[in-house]
Structure 1
Amino acid sequence: MLGSYLAAAMLCWMGWERFDHEAVITWMSVLTATTLLRTVMFITYRRAAPNQRSPQQWERRYWLTLALSAGIWGLGALAVMPVGDLVGQTLIILFAVGMSVSAVSCYSSFRNMTLVSIALVLLPCTIWLLLQPSALQQGIALAVLVFASFVVSATRSLSSALETAWRLKHEMEHAHRLAIIASCTDGLTGLNNRRAFFDHASAQHALCKQQSGLVAVLMLDIDYFKQINDTFGHAAGDRVLQRIGTVISDCLRDDGIAGRLGGEEFALLLPNTPQAEAVEIAERLRALIAQLNVSSEHGVTASIGLVCATTEESDLDALLVCADKAMYRAKAAGRNRVELVELARTTA
């Protein structure tokens, strides 16, 4: 945008003594207005929220302002074309050709945009020269058209190559994102895997500790899960794990962290959660899991260990150990229950 305006200004400066001054002033005035219009469009785009920068919202505006600017450049060059001055005509054609080359460099990934820009800049002056009686003028016009045909051919190849490179780049980025998600996600339940749970839980616990808040940790184990696998098969066991993963996700708050630590064991970290709320969440989890079943005769239950503490007096590993011990006490007490451990004084 700035380059096209500077090119016109330089052309007018170099040909000031050869061109009609009134035509030069009119051309530069109109070109200044279109340049300011495009500048306002770019500033508006930059200030817009990211969700308001979609191609559907901006591509048409960009096309219109680009076509307007290129058309004014080409018609303005024709307007200042000196009728009897071959040197001045050649100077204008050289600048027009330079503008077409710059269009290739700027818009080469958008072939139609490139071709439209080249046509609007080159054709007015080229057609005018082609209609002149002088063989030299016609030869210059033909040379420009031959050059333009090579540019069009090169643009097609370059546009195709850039499109392929762009597509491959985004495919690789997408594959990279999927790989990152896969490395952090338990493929069966959709929850964090063991490593990701400890990474996220440690970060969340540290953040909660800075705020001197409360924290709750739950350890959940499916009752008689081996019996489910042995009786109904591992496919049925996998379905149970998937459904429990869904239940946990539905019960979890936005700031909560949940993960499958392995087998049928799950862990949850609830930051800034008073004891009463943590107990309510644990009991809701237990009740929802108890509504699941493998068959009409065989239901599913879980034992849950819950520990609540103030973060400034707690350590994440210690909380997990205490919650794990509480979970085994829940199993020893008859399963399908929640056992609570309070490490430090909490506010209900």
Structure 2
Amino acid sequence: VWGCLVAGVLAMAARYLHLPNAVSPGTAFLSLFGAIIVIYAYFLMNRVEGARHRSEQVSRTDALTGLLNRRGLNEAAEGWLCASATSPHPLVVMFADLDNFKMVNDTKGHAEGDRVLVQIATTLRECLRSSDLVARYGGDEFVLLLPEITLGEAAHIARRIQTAVHDWFVDNALSCGISIGFTAVPPAESDLEKVLATVDHLLYRSKAERAGNGIRQVELPDYSVT
């Protein structure tokens, strides 16, 4: 594109110089040179802006799974939490944690562990609605945001995820599972990290009591779900 535009400018300049009342060659050269500088600056700015945009996208995306990373999740959640404050149904947050995942890395290697994480990311996407969001929170932990949904519907999705993940682990002879905790976010709550910390803590206790592979609905303090 850059070459075509320069060629076009040169062609126009050549025609201009052959006009009867054309300005001097020196003036024409300066005008042509200025036009080239302007065009070059325009394309340079576009390239810089494109590189900046790609860099921002990379900084928000998990390189392994292609999901949003923790930073991308927190940035996206700001708008979702604001929107849920006026919704008839609160935003539901799910925290999913793989069970016995360390065993995969220790016995089969990190390449196999990476394959598991990529597959889990794919399974989560397939089990969610198009309006939902899923992110890799870190390690073998995933966070899901489900807007405009009841807790009963969220529980159904959690069971669907657990079944799909369990079946894949069985098919691949892996003794792993997935534990899921979820809650409805209070309309006045704007701190996603605070919500996740509560769900994660209670899910950890639940895993210790039940040896993992469970689903737990959490009610946040001072918030009752009807």
Q: Give the unaligned 5+ runs of structure 2.
A: none
Q: Does 1:274 align with 2:170?
A: no
Q: Does 1:214 align with 2:90?
A: yes
Q: Does 1:119 align with 2:27?
A: no
Name the CA shift for 1:185/1:111 in 2 (closer, same or farther; >3 Å).
same
Q: Which of 210, 231, 235 is the equivalent residue of 2:111? A: 235
Structure 2: distance between partners of 1:332 and 1:121: 87
Name the CA shift for 1:178/1:158 in 2 (closer, same or farther; >3 Å).
same
Residue 338 of structure 1 aligns with which residue?
215
Q: Which of 89, 99, 115 is the equivalent residue of 1:223? A: 99
Structure 2: distance between partners of 1:148 and 1:112: 18
Paired residue type of 1:204:
W
Paired residue type of 1:258:
V
Provide the TM-score with structure 2 as the length reference.
0.77
Q: Is the 8 A contact 2:93 2:145 kept in 1?
A: yes
- The structure with the largest alpha-carbon Rg is 1
Paired residue type of 2:15:
A
Alignment of 1:86-101 (within 5 A): none
Structure 2: distance between partners of 1:296 and 1:239: 11
Structure 2: distance between partners of 1:160 and 1:318: 54
Count of aligned residue pairs for this structure pair: 220
Alignment of 1:227-306 (within 5 A): 227-293=103-169, 296-298=172-174, 300-306=176-182
Higher percent of residues as helix: 1
Structure 2: distance between partners of 1:224 and 1:111: 63
With a CA cutoff of 8 Å and minimum separation of 6, indicate the structure with the bigger relative contact order.
2
Structure 1: distance between partners of 2:29 and 2:192: 65
User: Is the partner of 1:276 in helix, strand or coil?
Assistant: helix
Residue 24 of structure 2 aligns with which residue?
147
Structure 1: distance between partners of 2:209 and 2:44: 56
The alignment yields a C-alpha RMSD, in angstroms, of: 3.6
Percent identity (aligned): 31
Paired residue type of 2:127:
C
Structure 2: distance between partners of 1:313 and 1:113: 58
